[in-house]
Amino acid sequence: MTILVLGGAGYIGSHTVYALIEKGVDVVVIDNLETGHIEAVHEKARFYKGDIRDRAFVDSVLDKEKIDAVIHFAANSLVGESMVNPLKYYDNNVNGTKVLLQSMVAHGLDKIVFSSTAATYGEPEKVPILETDRTEPTNTYGETKLAMEKMFKWTDRAHGLKYVSVRYFNECGAHVSGKIGEAHSPETHLIPLILQVPLGQREYISIYGDDYDTSDGTCIRDYIHVTDLAQAHILAVDYLMKGNESNIFNLGNGVGFTVKEVIDTARIVTGHEIPARIAERRAGDPARLIASSDKARQVLLWKPEHADLEEIISTAWNWHKNHPNGYNG
């Protein structure tokens, strides 16, 4: 079986490539390296540098390689940037997916697993969030991901393309080997931002609001280890290869941790005091964001193996302390 991983040089994509190769799967990677890192691509994967908006390029890869299924991570994903440069997100995320699907349909390639986001839901009506809940994104990034999901739906209706869309919140942690990990520029994720303090790259960590209706007043978020996330995408491929219908699955630990709990755990893991300062609430930050992954557990038989917060942060710390500047050393 040969799987094409789009965005396979990125954070979640590279971990998924590693997990596929560990299972003995043949892997082809496409990445334009805009935000990905060539150093993150597994040496056993066949790598093609290019952009999925380039139809001739995508056609050339699908002509050369016999692909059984696609896992699609290739997208811009910064919420803040998406609000000031929305057309960039429509061009790369939505237009890129349109070109990809045109090539897939032309090549008779009819299975795709899509790495979506829980940002498709917007402000949750209730917690934990179910796959059937209302989807009203509050930012351009979430809106483009939802538009991509709709594109798969109608392409399925017209051409029989089967898809699984995976929606999740805060991916975190790093590969247990320490070979690959999280390296974003700019960094926006909480755990690596916290770890910048013991690395000497940041004086303190800011807590945006401590007056929410939660156990300690700080926001609760659902964290998922990147390796567990990779496994879910692979299980989704297996699900499609068995001839199942298109579907959508939420992923998460189902519990959630407060910002203060995450900082306290990082203090234990690193042995550093990690000073924290309270700042103003950020607009649009809900008190709780937790996804129910019951459906994924029941249908895909997904079992997260790295849900312990201390373990998650330990793998992240192992990566960051040895690679304080990401793939640049």
pTM greater than 0.75:
yes
Q: Is the pLDDT of residue 284 over 80?
A: no
Catalytic one of 18, 48, 141, 168: 141
What is the architecture of the domain spanning 190-221+254-290+305-328?
Alpha-Beta Complex (3.90)
**Alpha-carbon distance 52 to 202, whole Å?**
36
Parallel, antiparallel, or unpaired for β 257-258 and 220-221? antiparallel
- pLDDT band of 285, cuts 50, 70, 90: confident
Protein fold of 2-172+223-251: Rossmann fold (3.40.50)
Inform me whether the pLDDT recorded for 15 exceeds 90. yes
Q: Which two tokens stand for residue 18?
A: 């590693």
What are 250's two structure tokens?
């939420």
pLDDT digits (tens, 9 = 90+) for 224-270: 999 999 999 999 999 999 999 999 999 998 889 999 999 999 999 99
* Two structure tokens written together for 206: 């800011």
Q: Which residues pair with 206 in a beta bridge?
A: 277
Beta-strand ranges (E) seen in the chain are 2-6, 26-31, 46-49, 69-72, 111-115, 162-168, 170-172, 205-208, 220-221, 223-225, 247-251, 257-258, 276-279, 288-289
- Catalytic residue check, 163: no
Give the model's pLDDT for residue 187: 87
> If you average pLDDT over residues 199-218, what whole number do you get?
96
Residue 21 has pLDDT above 80, yes or no: yes
What's the pLDDT tens digit per position in 83-138?
999 999 999 999 999 999 999 999 999 999 999 999 999 989 999 999 999 999 99
Would you list the domain boundaries of the chain? Answer: 2-172+223-251, 190-221+254-290+305-328
Q: Cis peptide leading into 86, omega within 30 of 0?
A: no
Q: Kindly tell me if the per-residue pLDDT of 186 is higher than 90.
A: no
DSSP conformation letters of 215-272: SSSS-EE-EEEHHHHHHHHHHHHHHHHTTPPPEEEEES-SS-EEHHHHHHHHHHHH--
